[in-house]
């Protein structure tokens, strides 16, 4: 819509009913198995298969010679059986002939060494020859398969920016130069914006500019690095758009175009706006139990919440598409031969994780994968069926789940209900990755907010702050939190003020607004554009050692202030918290200013769970469904609303049974039972309740 801000609800999946699917690789199995596979899938409730995302050679084994018969046969069989198909463009796995003949298509490591054939995602989205070959292939696929009746939608590439989200080939430097020229016009403006006066980095010719190359101490110009990330996002979006524009010419009316996963240096709302109908996510909650700590982000960041903290990623997906799909839902143990080792999900966990996705707004859930591959890097990445193809525990769990999903399938299109929003902002995230002084605070605070909201059963959204934000975009929320948005613009601050004046509470964390759009620090008091809103400023700032947070008294309660501390000065605001420890004991730690019908709060630290809980209580957001349920912290409450009716998902991520109380009569939709008073969820159990009429 012209003139209005980005709307995640307009970029949503539109399924008539909640639907289950599976990722299938016809090229991995003898063709003689296809029919039996499809029959078994259908029998266990699978209605859609995703295919072809890595199958370039099935279409173009030799340059320029296109063959379609392999997938024609698969699609015709699917059609005959009544299986729907999501067809993919296989551009994540360019073949060996391509990279041998056109090595300039390959991505490179920072020192310029080419990334070679043998894995996936090895080409660069700016290589003219790669773009030409991808464009031609997608054109062929679109023209040939577009009309096929079995197809219901298209997936572009696979997990854009997954294997890497930085690109260092010659074509990237060339395209980066063009991007900078277009953006800054003159070298003078570029030098000014990039602060190149520091360490004598002035550029005197465009040819002197490159994507970040190896520097001593791995510390390139931070402003240029931020621009490079913006550029990566633009280039990846252009790559996606190139394909989407082609597919739009050929798809049948009603067929969708999407892509899967959420990865770095990619502005997803912009990508949705420019090419996609909605986003899908790949949900692997079992990473929380991985033995590989380098990928075990869920477990390390969220501590006790483990797989439950996948809800953060689902909330992020929802901030892009209110209703979305899960293109890959974990169904078994995970792990490559070389990394990410994970245990097998315990009985019930596969069903629990699928329900977690549905609870958070997924209307399509497609399991990864039908059968575990018996060759290659992913022989341990288990699917529904094992290599030996015998019926498995997962297959039984799938059958149970599909029976249950049928009972709630009418919830499709129902929206997740949240009155608390925690914001993120791409430019601040990307800048923060290169700034160890504030970058790490974001994950700490977001995770603590999520944990506090989970414990107090206050469903929480993530919200993507964009420059086109209007106050009314936030009107559904009572509480809006900006953890550490360093690159806060005047425009966003004005929209936040408008929101607060209408009755909302906006909460800022330390290091808000201290940088401008290029990551420079303007010579104005922090929090820059937010200073007026909060009626005060930061006088002093210090980092804290990881495990030694100071304490502050907030509304009579002692809360920890981890990560970083700021000594605040109140101007026309009220001091609501003072430090209790540290050399600044007694100094203001949080301030609050009334704005119209609402207020703005500034907290001079990262958010601990305690601070988040205190703010939830203060704004009436603790246990917002307390009239209906008395729930222990161990149970997640998620709410979806459809046609004015609320549906309550209760999820138990623990290995023990959890008791709770229903304070009103409910129908448990998965079993048809009436629940009132004392109730319990078994280990890894799920219930979906609606109020009894
Ligand atoms: C996803 C990817 C799949 C498969 C899976 C397990 O990220 O899209 O193709 O690799 O992970 O590793």
What are the pLDDT digits (tens) for 353-366? 999 999 999 999 99
Q: How far is CA 426 from CA 75, 173, 274, in A?
A: 39, 22, 17
Q: Where are the domains of the chain?
A: 18-165+235-411, 420-618, 629-691
The atom of ligand 1 lying closest to the CA of 327 is 8
Look at the chain and count its residues: 693
pLDDT digits (tens, 9 = 90+) for 60-118: 999 999 999 999 999 999 999 999 999 999 999 999 999 999 999 999 999 999 999 99
Does 159 sit in the ligand 1 pocket, CB within 6 Å? yes
Examine domains 18-165+235-411 and 420-618 and report if their fold is the same: no
pLDDT tens for 218-228 read 999 999 999 99
- Contact of 279 with 11, CB cutoff 8 Å: yes
Residue 299, pLDDT above cutoff 90:
no
Helix (H, G, I), strand (E, B) or coil at 319: coil
- Quick one: fold of 629-691? Immunoglobulin-like (2.60.40)
The pLDDT of residue 297 is 53
Using the mean position of ligand 1's atoms as its centre, give its distance from the Cα of residue 146 in Å. 25
Ligand 1 neighbourhood includes 381 CB (under 6 angstroms): yes
Give the tens place of pLDDT for each residue, 149-199. Answer: 999 999 999 999 999 999 999 999 999 999 999 999 999 999 999 999 999
pLDDT range class, residue 295, cuts 50, 70, 90? low
For 18-165+235-411, CATH number out of 3.20.20.80, 3.30.565.10, 1.20.58.220, 3.90.1150.10 equals 3.20.20.80
Contacts 24+ apart (CB under 8 A), 70-78: 70/26, 70/27, 71/26, 71/145, 73/31, 74/26, 74/34, 75/145, 75/148, 75/150, 75/151, 76/150, 77/34, 77/35, 77/38, 78/38, 78/49, 78/150
User: pLDDT tens for residues 641-693?
Assistant: 999 999 999 999 999 999 999 999 999 999 999 999 999 999 999 999 999 98
E strand or H helix at 366: strand 362-368
Q: Indicate the helix (H) or strand (E) that contains 618.
A: helix 609-618
pLDDT (0 to 100) of residue 2: 45
Is the minimum distance from the CB of 328 to ligand 1 under 6 angstroms?
A: yes
Q: Is residue 19 a contact partner of residue 363, using CB atoms and an 8 Å limit?
A: yes
d(CA 322, CA 416) in angstroms, rounded, equals 8
CB distance 158 to ligand 1 below 6 Å: yes
Ligand 1 center from residue 418 Cα (angstroms): 30
What is the chain's percent helix, strand, coil content, to nearest 5? Answer: 35, 25, 40
Q: What does the DSSP 8-state code read for residue 661?
A: E
- The preferred substitution site among 53, 54, 159 for testing ligand 1, maximizing ligand atoms within 8 Å of CB, is 159
How far are the Cα atoms of 260, 553, 577, 590 from residue 610, in angstroms, in the given order?
35, 11, 13, 14
Decide: 24 and 49 in contact? Cβ < 8 Å.
Answer: yes
Q: How many CB atoms neighbour CB 135 within 10 A?
A: 16
What CATH number was assigned to the domain covering residues 420-618?
Answer: 3.40.50.880
Strand partners, 537: 569
- The better pLDDT of the pair 485, 302 is held by 485
Active-site residues, by number, are 159, 328
Quickly state the pLDDT bin for 594 (edges 50, 70, 90): very high
- φ, ψ dihedrals at 546, nearest 5°: -45, -45
pLDDT at position 609, please? 96
The CA-to-CA distance between both ends of the chain, in Å, stands at: 39
To test the ligand 1 pocket, which listed residue (328, 334, 370) has its Cβ within 8 A of the most ligand atoms? 328
In this prediction the pTM is 0.97
What value does the mean pLDDT take over residues 442-471? 97
> What are 431-452's pLDDT values in tens digits?
999 999 999 999 999 999 999 9
Dist. CA 391–CA 266, nearest whole Å: 40
Note the pLDDT of residue 236.
98
Angle subtended at Cα 518 by Cα 514 and Cα 522, rounded to the nearest 5 degrees: 40
């Amino acid at each position: 819509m012209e003139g209005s801000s980005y709307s995640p609800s307009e970029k949503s999946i539109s399924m008539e009913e909640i639907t289950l699917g599976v990722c299938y690789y016809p090229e991995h199995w003898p063709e003689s198995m296809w029919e039996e596979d499809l029959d078994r899938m259908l029998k266990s409730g699978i209605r859609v298969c995703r295919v072809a995302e890595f199958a370039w050679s099935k279409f173009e084994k030799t340059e320029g010679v296109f063959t379609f018969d392999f997938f024609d046969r698969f699609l015709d069989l699917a059609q005959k059986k009544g299986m729907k198909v999501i067809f993919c463009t296989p551009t994540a796995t360019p073949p060996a002939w391509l990279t041998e003949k056109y090595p300039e298509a390959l991505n490179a490591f920072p020192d310029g060494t080419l990334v070679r054939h043998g894995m996936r995602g090895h080409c660069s989205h700016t290589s003219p020859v790669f773009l030409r070959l991808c464009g031609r292939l997608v054109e062929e696929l679109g023209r040939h398969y577009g009309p096929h009746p079995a197809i219901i939608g298209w997936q572009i590439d696979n997990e854009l920016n997954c294997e890497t989200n930085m690109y260092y080939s010659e074509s990237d430097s060339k395209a980066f130069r063009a991007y900078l020229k277009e953006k800054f016009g003159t070298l003078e403006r570029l030098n000014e914006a990039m602060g190149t006066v520091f360490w004598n980095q002035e550029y005197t010719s465009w040819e002197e500019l490159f994507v970040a190359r190896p520097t001593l101490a791995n510390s390139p110009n931070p402003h240029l690095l931020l621009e490079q990330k913006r550029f990566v996002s633009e280039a990846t979006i252009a790559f996606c758009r190139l394909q989407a524009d082609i597919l739009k010419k050929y798809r049948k009316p009603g067929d969708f175009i999407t892509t899967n996963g959420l990865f770095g240096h990619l502005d997803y709302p912009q990508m949705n706006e420019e090419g996609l109908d909605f986003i899908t996510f790949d949900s692997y909650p079992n990473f929380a139990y991985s033995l590989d700590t380098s990928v075990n982000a869920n477990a390390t960041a969220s501590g006790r919440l483990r797989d439950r903290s996948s809800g953060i990623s689902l909330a992020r997906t929802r901030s892009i598409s209110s209703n979305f799909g899960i293109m890959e839902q974990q169904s078994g143990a995970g792990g490559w031969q070389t990394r990410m080792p994970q245990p097998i999900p315990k009985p019930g966990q596969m069903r629990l994780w699928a329900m977690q996705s549905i609870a958070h707004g997924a209307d399509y859930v497609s399991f990864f994968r039908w059968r575990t591959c018996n060759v290659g890097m992913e022989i341990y990445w288990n699917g529904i069926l094992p290599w030996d193809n015998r019926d498995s525990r997962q297959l039984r769990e799938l059958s149970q789940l599909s029976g249950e999903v049928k009972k709630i399938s009418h919830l499709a299109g129902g929206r997740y209900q949240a009155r608390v929003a925690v914001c993120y902002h791409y430019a601040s995230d990307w800048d923060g990755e290169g700034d160890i002084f504030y970058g790490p605070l974001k994950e700490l605070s977001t995770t603590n907010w999520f944990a506090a909201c989970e414990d107090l059963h206050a469903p929480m959204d993530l919200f993507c702050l964009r420059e086109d934000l209007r106050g009314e975009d936030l009107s559904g929320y009572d509480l809006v939190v900006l953890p550490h948005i360093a690159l806060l613009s005047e425009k966003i601050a004005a929209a936040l003020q408008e929101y607060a004046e209408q009755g909302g509470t906006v909460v800022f964390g330390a290091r808000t607004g201290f940088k401008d759009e290029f990551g420079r620090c303007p010579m104005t008091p922090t929090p820059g554009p937010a200073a007026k809103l909060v009626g005060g400023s930061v006088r002093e700032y210090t980092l804290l050692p990881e495990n030694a947070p100071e304490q502050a008294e907030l509304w009579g309660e002692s809360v920890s202030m981890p990560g970083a501390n700021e000594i605040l000065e109140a101007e026309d605001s009220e001091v609501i918290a003072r430090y209790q420890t540290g050399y600044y004991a007694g100094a203001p730690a949080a301030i609050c200013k009334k704005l119209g019908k609402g207020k703005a709060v500034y907290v001079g630290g990262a958010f601990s769970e305690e601070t988040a809980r205190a703010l939830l209580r203060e704004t009436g957001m603790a246990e917002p469904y307390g009239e209906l349920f008395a729930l222990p912290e161990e149970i997640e409450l998620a709410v979806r609303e459809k046609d004015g009716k609320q549906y309550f998902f209760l999820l138990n991520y623990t290995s023990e049974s959890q008791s709770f109380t229903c304070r009103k009569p409910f129908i448990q939709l998965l079993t048809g039972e009436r629940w009132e008073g004392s109730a319990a969820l078994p280990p890894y159990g799920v219930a979906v309740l609606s109020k009894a009429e």
